[in-house]
Structure 1
Amino acid sequence: MNRPIKGLDISALSEARKRQGVSRHDLARRAAVSKTTIGAWEIGARSPNIESLAKVAQALGLRMDDLIKVPEAERTLADLRRLAGLSQTRLAWLTGTTAAAIAGLERGEISLTEEKAQALAPAIDASAEDIKAAWQRSHDRPLGEPA
Structure 2
Amino acid sequence: MKKLAFALMLLAGPLLAQETAPQSPAEHIAALEAQAAADAETIAALRARVTQDADDARARVLNLTLELETLRSRQIQLSRDLDVAQRASADAERRMRDAVSDARIQRQRAERAESDRRRAEADARRYRDDARRCR
The TM-score normalised by the length of structure 2 is 0.21
> Which protein has the larger Cα radius of gyration, Structure 1 or Structure 2?
2
The TM-score normalised by the length of structure 1 is 0.20
> Which of the pair is proportionally richer in helix?
2
